[in-house]
Amino acid sequence: MATSSPAHHAPSPPAASTTDPRALSTAIADHVARTVDTLQRRAAEVLSTFSEPRAADLTRAHRLRVRFAEAVTGFALGQAVRRLLTGLRRGLGADTTRAVRARLELALTSATGDHADRRATLATLELANEHRVTVALGEELRARFGQLAPRLTAVVEAVHDELARLVPARADELVAMLDLVARDPTLEERLADELRLGWPVLVALLRSKDAAISTPSPLWAAWLSLARGQRTPEALTPHDYILVVR
């Protein structure tokens, strides 16, 4: 009697993501718009509580303000990514989040662009309000936060692509997750805290480049060293703050 060999079946291909492309695109656009709006609104609220500092040297004040705005913008982007990762960890677990984070760091690096290009784009802000530091800073941060939209979009798209690769059956959960993440107040709270911590550092530097300044914030301690042309242990630059998502 003839015997037959056990059948060898080819492994099944991984399940494809079931995410509706239109629903995903809408969810990403809504999430990014709400994030940018949150940053712009909260920064304006905090800046409105600051007293206008005296700055005898307008050229130096402009330079410090620009570097301050760069650091705040990088911090805000990092915290927006941190908020997204926190939501991802709650929904899909730590292992998946760690794998996605590696992809995000690459997406962030490719999405940040050239600082020189952004400075050129923002040159139009050097107008009538240049002599008013709080107003000029508010205008600059509003513009810079608006420019974060394509970077945030690239990051969220990278998250979905990595989820579709790692856990395709659950990639569609990102649509609902983005709405929950956008409701999390952590981003605006952290932004407000760092603005309040950074403002006294900026004001002190505007008054005197040699002022004795101390700050409890690692961000502003590093920024202070950079503003004074000193090296920091982490060799940080404003660009590097974008990757601070701890």
Residue 52 belongs to a domain: yes
> What single DSSP character describes residue 15?
P
Domain that holds residue 167: 21-243
Residue 1 placed within a domain: no
Burial (CB < 10 A; 0-12, 13-18, 19+), residue 67, is middle
Number of domains in the chain: 1
Percent share of the chain, pLDDT over 70: 74
Write the pLDDT tens digit of every residue in 97-123.
Answer: 888 887 777 666 655 444 433 443 333
11 domain-assigned: no
- Residue 70 domain flag: yes
- Evaluate whether residue 137 is within a structural domain: yes
pLDDT value of residue 54: 80
* 128 belongs to a structural domain: yes
Render pLDDT for 62-92 as a digit per residue (tens, 0 to 9): 889 989 999 999 899 889 988 998 988 888 8
The reported pLDDT for the residue numbered 107 is 66
pTM, full prediction:
0.79
